[in-house]
Structure formats: C-alpha cells, structure tokens
Amino acid sequence: MNVTQEEKMLGGLAHVAVLFNLIGVAFLAVLTLAYRQKSRYVFEHAAQGLGLWLTGWALKLVIGAVFGTASFAMVFNPFMWREALGGFFLAVLLLMAVGITILVLVIIAAVKGFSGQPHRYPIIGDFVASLSK
C-alpha cells in the first residue's frame, strides 16, 4: 500500500483529533465523509478515531451516571456522607483512568498513522472496522 505524505499526516491527525472533543469529532466526521472514496488509509484511521472517541464518551457517561445517581441518593441520608465521598473519589479515579488510557492509545495510534502504518485499537478496532466497510 503506497501512502502519500498527505495521507500520513491526515491519518495521524485523525487520532490526535480524539483529544479535542467536539471540534475533533467534527474533524473526524469530515475526514470520514470526505475520504471514504478518496483514500482508504485516511478513512480507516478516521473511523478508528471516531470509534475511540465514541467509546470514551460512552464510558465517561456511564461512570458519571452511575456514581452521580448513587451520590445524589446518598445526600438525602446524612449518615452516609462517607460513602458518598468515597463514591465521588472512585468516580474521579475511574474517569482519570479512562482519560489516561485514551491518551496512551491516541499517542500509539498517531505515531503509527504518521508513519504510514495501519492501526486498529484494541478491543474496539475490529468492531469499528466491520462497521466501516
């Protein structure tokens, strides 16, 4: 597979865009739509980035919903403030773990994207690739 410099740059930027929330998602959506027929390399990297962003967003939403609901319920019982505080700190630690994991995955994928190598994220990569065919 012969990959041009432009494709390498866009492939790497597709992964870096994951770190820029909504602006990054807009960039990934444009890349996915614009390069679907033009460059399979850029399209696959953009689809992987979009899949990682959606997975991270869903994980953060679930963590926030579960621990937010539990903490809110415990507020009404004044004898359970320690549990509410513990739940809050656990949620913060889980959110930090998700963020650090995403950062590490993005760095590895961006290096491969800028190098001209194909890349799939662990666990979600094959699923995203099957959706983007």
**In this structure, are residues 49 and 121 in contact, taking their beta carbons and an 8 Å threshold?**
no
Three-class secondary structure of residue 73 per DSSP: helix
Residue with token string 């432009």: 6
- Spell out the per-residue pLDDT of the chain, length 133, in tens: 689 999 999 999 999 999 999 999 999 999 999 999 999 999 999 999 999 999 999 999 999 888 877 777 676 776 776 777 777 888 899 999 999 999 999 999 999 999 999 999 999 999 999 998 7
Amino acid at 115: S
The domain locations on the chain are 5-131
CB atoms within 10 A of CB 104: 10
**In this structure, are residues 48 and 128 in contact, taking their beta carbons and an 8 Å threshold?**
yes
What is the biggest distance separating any 2 CA atoms in the chain, rounded to whole angstroms?
A: 65
Q: pTM value?
A: 0.89
Measure the CA–CA gap between 52 and 41, rounded to whole angstroms: 17
